[in-house]
Structure 1
Amino acid sequence: MDLNIKTNEKNHLEIGGVDAVEIAKEFGTPTYVIDEDRIRDNYKRFYSAFSKYYPDFKVFYACKANTNIAVLKILEEEGSCIDAVSPGEVYISKKLGFTGNRILFTGNNIKDSELKEVSDAGVILNIDSVSALKRLAKLINPENVKISFRVNPMVGAGHHDHCITGGVMSKFGIMDSEAVEVYKLAKELGFNPVGMHSHIGSGILDPEPFKLAIESTMDIAGKVHKEAGIEFEFLDFGGGIGIPYTPDEKLLDLDKFAEENMKLFKAKLKEYDMAEPTLYLEPGRYLVGDAAVLLTEVNSIKQSYRKFIGIDAGFNTLLRPAMYDSYHHMVIANKMDEEDVEEVDVAGNVCESGDLFARDRPLPKVEEGDILAILNAGAYSFTMASNYNTRPLPKEVLISNKKAIVVRKEQSYDDIFQKQTMPEHLK
């Protein structure tokens, strides 16, 4: 089993060297618990693997995976850059010390005011459409901003259809067939395009789709270099590298993955007589996915037509199982030494039939009051949480040097209420 599971002498789950049951007792549930050391280790492993084969390499953390400011600051200290997809992510990143040249903004269906906002922030703009390019040219002095283009490499991969970002069904990027003309248009409008970006999907554990994406993107870049006269400062192959979610999935052999893909990358540079641009990659899930656990308490056991284990979290807390049919491994944090003895449905507390975390999940004998730990909850988990059913957002706790620190307070009902205003005629 390649899941990040550690057990202490009490046969309790351990997170960053701290007893998960004690964390639940001290901070309550549901609570996201983040392991700082795991994030740092993941970053170092990722950076080392690729820089070994191509030294001019930068990591742009896809921060939509987890935007907790402690997580961002940890990665800032490690030397990471930021892949941002909203003005809000740009704003938070700059507040935490990321300079404009360390932030790549990739907008999608972005409006004029947001284009102006992010360009004024001094970040690198990754343009997704001809429309955005033309509108940007009217909003700013093209000479004052660095731009690149997101191209669709016509390769798509991912753990769910909603996570595939390349191919004929994708809303992202400019068509490969129009790339040369778009780069020429950018130059005519006064821009100096310095990069190219592609992204094929998320949750990828197979190196083959990534290699196909590199090959396709490099063929597009080579044609743009030759026919539009673009000297690329960087080439960006997005992110999408996955982590094991199920017990039978294996960790990606990252060194082999890096070696094979960098060999192809360098061969394509030589084929198209391009210089050696900086290589960007945008891991999100790989850096933070296995670095957090969602702790919940079993509050109800119902034997109906099926056996339901009811917990104090719902898809407002963790949306992935409902939205993507995602598997998250679960353990009983206070019974790590017990064998699985029954198959149960794990149900949330939201008033929706789709609020299920698992069907027919093998677990030890579950009792009310047990602490259920939902693993691999560091990516696309809290960031997708909501106030549905008027439930407050949960607490986040960081484990650092074997100490638990609150890094986000849970919302109160008043936090939800006070942002609304009553019209005068209803007072």
Structure 2
Amino acid sequence: MDLNIKTNDKGHLDIGGADACELVEEYGTPIYVIDEERVRDNYNRFYNAFTKFYPKFKVFYACKANTNIAVLKILEEEGCCIDAVSPGEVYICKKMGFSGDRILFTGNNIRNDEMDYVNSEDVILNIDSVSALKRLAESIDPQGKKISFRVNPMVGAGHHGHCITGGEMSKFGIMETEAVEIYKLAKELGFEPVGMHSHIGSGILDPEPFKLAIESTMNIAGKVHQEAGIDFEFIDFGGGVGIPYTPEEELLDLEHFAEENIKLFKEKLEEFDMGEPILYLEPGRYIVGDASVILVEVNSVKESYRKFIGVDAGFNTLLRPAMYDSYHHIVVANKMNEEPTQTVDVAGNVCESGDLFARDRPLPDIEEGDILGILNAGAYGYTMASNYNSRPLPAEILVKNGESFVIREAQTFDDIFEKQSIPEHLK
């Protein structure tokens, strides 16, 4: 088990050298707490595992997982690149110092004005459809513009159906049967196609699904190389590398994962005589997922038909359990050395029956005022949060060697009102 759980000599949860209970005393609850060194360690572990077997390798962080500007700045310092899926992500990453050649933009059902904007930022454009290609050619000068295409490798994997992004049910990518003709069309329009991209899903802890995707994608790339005359500068297999969420899951053997997949990648390069294109991968969850904890306070212990532990956050703060039925490990931050004595439901404060962080969870004796830590909240925590029930969004805190910094202030009620207005006829 490796859920990045540490306990200090007070028996409290330790996050990046900081005492979780002391953080709560200073900043209140709920709060997201991010461990800077864990982000750096995760990035470097990933980068080093793959460059060991294939030096021409780049990490494009899937920033939809967590776009806090402090997190982005940490990764920019480390030399990371960016996988962006919206104009807003391009904007914020450029503001954080990422140059256009370090940002790959993969649009999905993108508007013309959005394509114009991301093109103006000189990022690498990854095209998802024939429609997008033709519309882009009409709105910009395509001569010599380097682009890539996202293909559907007809392989899907992931921890939930909503996270599977390959296969016949997927809305993403161009079909294998049209790949050669689309690359030819791109050349005819004046573009310079230099890359191929695929993505099969997220939460993957086994190299086998990835190997299937590599084989399928490389077969498509090989055919495009031979029949459309494309010499690829890069091939991108997307992200999806998972982290353990439950105590029973083991941390991915990343070196084995890298070795197995790189071996197949090299074999396919040789089979199709494709040279040595740069290999891109797009981890998001792996880099930031286990680097963050949501700290919440128990405000209600309710003996009903079940025993409910009520806390001061809900699915507006962490949507994954309600949306994906996801497991997030929960600890009692002020009682880390106590053993489970009961099975309880941990419930949020949103007015919805589905607002539960856990069902039938073994936990120690819990009293009102105790502090719970909801782990693995760094990926798709704040980025999927909302103002549902008109609740302000919590603060985000960065910790480094025990020191803490506010990297996003908590919202106020006034913030929720800020962008609204009442028409004159209603005043």
1:379 and 2:379 correspond: yes
Cα distance in structure 2, aligned partners of 1:335 and 1:366: 9
Correspondence list, 1:296-307, <5 A: 296-307=296-307
Q: 1:52 matched to which residue of 2?
A: 52
Q: Aligned letter for 1:332? A: V
Correspondence list, 1:211-360, <5 A: 211-360=211-360
Cα distance in structure 1, aligned partners of 2:69 and 2:136: 30
Q: 1:102 matched to which residue of 2?
A: 102
Are the aligned partners of 2:31 and 2:396 in contact in 1 as well (CA < 8 Å)? yes
Q: Using a 3 Å threshold, how does the CA distance of structure 1 residues 144 and 116 change in structure 2: closer, same or farther?
A: farther
| Structure 1 residues 354-382: Cα deviation after superposition (integer angstroms, max 9, x where no partner) | 10111100000011000000000000111
Q: 1:190 matched to which residue of 2?
A: 190
Are the aligned partners of 1:12 and 1:19 in contact in 2 as well (CA < 8 Å)? yes
Cα distance in structure 2, aligned partners of 1:338 and 1:418: 45
Cα distance in structure 2, aligned partners of 1:345 and 1:310: 8
1:166 and 2:149 correspond: no
Q: CA deviation at 1:3?
A: 1.0
| Structure 1 residues 171-194: Cα deviation after superposition (integer angstroms, max 9, x where no partner) | 000011110011011111111001
Are the aligned partners of 1:122 and 1:145 in contact in 2 as well (CA < 8 Å)? no
Q: CA deviation at 1:144?
A: 5.5
Cα distance in structure 2, aligned partners of 1:95 and 1:47: 24
Give the secondary structure class of the aligned counterpart of 2:14.
Answer: strand
Are the aligned partners of 2:298 and 2:368 in contact in 1 as well (CA < 8 Å)? yes
Q: 2:366 matched to which residue of 1?
A: 366
- TM-score normalised by L of structure 1: 0.99
Cα distance in structure 1, aligned partners of 2:92 and 2:227: 39
Are the aligned partners of 1:395 and 1:406 in contact in 2 as well (CA < 8 Å)? yes
Q: 2:156 matched to which residue of 1?
A: 156
Taking only the aligned residue pairs, the percentage that are identical comes to 78
Cα distance in structure 1, aligned partners of 2:263 and 2:191: 32
Are the aligned partners of 2:144 and 2:192 in contact in 1 as well (CA < 8 Å)? no
Cα distance in structure 2, aligned partners of 1:180 and 1:421: 51
Q: Using a 3 Å threshold, how does the CA distance of structure 1 residues 177 and 216 change in structure 2: closer, same or farther?
A: same
Give the secondary structure class of the aligned counterpart of 2:32.
Answer: strand
Give the secondary structure class of the aligned counterpart of 1:313.
Answer: coil
Give the secondary structure class of the aligned counterpart of 2:264.
Answer: helix
Cα distance in structure 2, aligned partners of 1:72 and 1:2: 25
Q: CA deviation at 1:143?
A: 2.3
Are the aligned partners of 2:17 and 2:400 in contact in 1 as well (CA < 8 Å)? no
Cα distance in structure 1, aligned partners of 2:418 and 2:260: 54
Cα distance in structure 1, aligned partners of 2:216 and 2:79: 29
Q: 1:143 matched to which residue of 2?
A: 143
Q: CA deviation at 1:146?
A: 1.9
Give the secondary structure class of the aligned counterpart of 1:172.
Answer: coil
| Structure 1 residues 209-262: Cα deviation after superposition (integer angstroms, max 9, x where no partner) | 000000000000000000000000000000000000000000110001101110
Cα distance in structure 2, aligned partners of 1:401 and 1:4: 15
| Structure 1 residues 360-405: Cα deviation after superposition (integer angstroms, max 9, x where no partner) | 0000001100000000000011100000000001100000232010
Are the aligned partners of 2:144 and 2:190 in contact in 1 as well (CA < 8 Å)? no
Cα distance in structure 1, aligned partners of 2:143 and 2:343: 62
1:36 and 2:36 correspond: yes
Cα distance in structure 2, aligned partners of 1:146 and 1:354: 46
Cα distance in structure 1, aligned partners of 2:361 and 2:123: 46
Aligned length, in residue pairs: 427
Give the secondary structure class of the aligned counterpart of 1:143.
Answer: coil
- TM-score normalised by L of structure 2: 0.99
Q: Aligned letter for 2:106? A: T
1:409 and 2:409 correspond: yes
Give the secondary structure class of the aligned counterpart of 2:372.
Answer: strand
| Structure 1 residues 297-338: Cα deviation after superposition (integer angstroms, max 9, x where no partner) | 000011111111000000000000000000000000000010
Q: 2:23 matched to which residue of 1?
A: 23
Structural RMSD (CA): 0.6
Give the secondary structure class of the aligned counterpart of 2:143.
Answer: helix
Q: Aligned letter for 1:361? A: R
Q: Aligned letter for 1:185? A: L
Cα distance in structure 2, aligned partners of 1:379 and 1:371: 21
Q: CA deviation at 1:112?
A: 0.5
Cα distance in structure 2, aligned partners of 1:172 and 1:362: 40
Cα distance in structure 2, aligned partners of 1:110 and 1:67: 20
Cα distance in structure 1, aligned partners of 2:419 and 2:144: 37
| Misfit runs of 4+, over 6 Å | none
Are the aligned partners of 1:148 and 1:196 in contact in 2 as well (CA < 8 Å)? yes
Q: CA deviation at 1:145?
A: 3.0
Q: CA deviation at 1:153?
A: 0.3
Unaligned runs of 5+ in 2: none
